[in-house]
Structure formats: C-alpha cells, structure tokens
C-alpha cells in the first residue's frame, strides 16, 4: 500500500532531508569561497576614495602627536586655578598657534595666549576659554576653579602608535582618509578597480 506524505500545501516546501540555508549562512559560505581576482596598487590618499584596502594599515604615530589645546584661550599650569575665586596671571608676551609651537617655557604664575590645535608649551597643562577671560594686555583674569587639564587634548587621544586604523577589505570613505592623514599616512595599498566590459547582442 502506498502511503502519502503529510499534507503541507506549501509550494516552498523542500523534499525530505533537504533544508533551507539561512541567508546569512549562505552569504558567509559565499564569501569564504570567493577569491580576489585583481592585483593591488599603492595609491595616494587623495586618489583612494571608494577603493578597498588591500592590507591592514597601522598607525606610525599618535594622533594628536602632542598634547594640544582644544579651544582658543589662555594656557597655564592647572594648579593655579584649582580653588574658587579670582585668578590673576601675568600674560606671556608670545602666543602658541597650531603649527607654530611656543619655543619658550611658560613660567609659574603666567598664562599664554593659545589657539585651537596648538601644542601645549612647557609649563602649560590647562586652558581657560577666551570667553571666560578679561585681559588688559598685561594680565589675564578669570574665575576659578578650573580642573587641571581642562580644554586640552592628550597625545594619542584619538589614535596610538601601532593601532590598526584601516582594515583589509574596508571601503575608503572621506573620514577614513582623514584619519589616515592625521597619523602621517600618505599612501595606502588598495585593490585595483575592477574593469568590466559589456557586450550587447
């Protein structure tokens, strides 16, 4: 006697012993079986947008490379403003700017004009916002307390040397290229673009 199978009434049903493969599993299997058919090339970061990274990229240096100011303001030793009350500091005659570090040290009891991105001079570990300061060109005056290290960025706060900043297979966006530039990388090993031909018949 022939015995019929249970009624499923499902046009997507598979024969006994055959199962559906979940999409994620199918994609994983597909990716594991793929092999790259293009070679690699070294590309300047100005030309690398939308290319794919061919090998992990390691940061050769920290970002930022040196402790610097996060704001425009006045830099000084943070211990001078740790208590409540008015703080008066003599104004250093020079200033520190991004790319133009101050060559001299800032003495105890002094503050120096410092711009965003400027390397913290010797003797400075804290910055007060320029909006919070009154000055007559000879001294700066502001209200404490201000936490030591305020309004500054530490060396390596974003990236440390030897960190992996770009990974193999990663598609390069503008933000990725900015990150690479910030740690001194000017060229990236990328997969060459695929060349596709279309024959219309």
Q: What are phi and psi of 98, to 5 degrees?
A: -60, 125
Residue 159, pLDDT > 90, answer yes
Residue 45's pLDDT is 95
Which one of 3.10.310.40, 3.40.50.620, 2.40.160.20, 2.170.190.11 gives the CATH number of domain 68-153? 2.170.190.11
Residue 16's pLDDT is 72
What is the C-alpha to C-alpha distance for residues 43 and 192, in angstroms, rounded to an integer? 9
CATH architecture observed for domain 39-62+158-191: Alpha-Beta Complex (3.90)
Tokens for 135?
Answer: 């000055």
Strands 85-96, 110-114: pairing is: parallel
Provide the whole-model pTM.
0.69
67 and 153 Cβ atoms separated by less than 8 Å: yes
pLDDT in tens, 14-28: 777 777 888 999 999
Read out DSSP for 73-129? Answer: EEEE-GGGGSSSEEEEEEEEEEEEBTTB--SSPPPTTEEEEE-TTPBPPTT--EEEE
Residue 28's pLDDT is 93
pLDDT in tens, 147-157: 999 999 999 99
Residue 82's pLDDT is 87
Which residues are paired to 129 by β-bridges? 73
Judged by DSSP in three states, 166 sits in strand
Residue 179, pLDDT > 80, answer yes
pLDDT in tens, 109-145: 999 999 999 999 999 999 999 999 999 999 999 999 9
Tokens for 14?
Answer: 């598979």
Give 30's DSSP letter: H
Q: What percentage of the chain exceeds 90 in pLDDT?
A: 78
Give 36's DSSP letter: -
- Model confidence band, residue 6 (pLDDT cutoffs 50, 70, 90): confident
Residue 12, pLDDT > 80, answer no
- Domain spans of the chain, in order of start: 39-62+158-191, 68-153
């Amino acid at each position: 006697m022939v015995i019929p199978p249970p009624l499923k009434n499902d046009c997507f049903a598979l024969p006994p012993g055959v199962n559906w493969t979940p999409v994620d599993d199918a994609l994983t299997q597909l990716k594991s079986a793929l092999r790259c058919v293009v070679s690699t090339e070294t590309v300047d970061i100005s030309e690398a947008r939308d290319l794919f990274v061919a090998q992990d990229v390691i940061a050769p240096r920290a970002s930022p490379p040196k402790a610097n100011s996060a704001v425009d303001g006045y830099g000084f030793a943070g211990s001078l403003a740790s208590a409540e009350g008015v703080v008066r500091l003599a104004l250093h005659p020079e200033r520190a700017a991004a790319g133009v570090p101050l060559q001299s040290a800032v003495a105890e009891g002094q503050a120096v004009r410092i711009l965003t991105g400027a390397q913290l001079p010797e003797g400075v570990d804290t910055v007060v916002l320029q909006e919070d300061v009154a000055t007559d060109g000879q001294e700066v005056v502001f209200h404490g307390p201000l936490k030591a290290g305020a309004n500054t960025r530490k060396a390596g706060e974003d990236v440390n040397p030897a960190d992996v900043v770009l990974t193999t297979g990663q598609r390069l966006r503008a933000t990725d290229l900015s990150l690479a530039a910030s740690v001194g990388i000017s060229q990236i090993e990328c997969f060459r673009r695929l060349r596709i031909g279309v024959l219309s018949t």
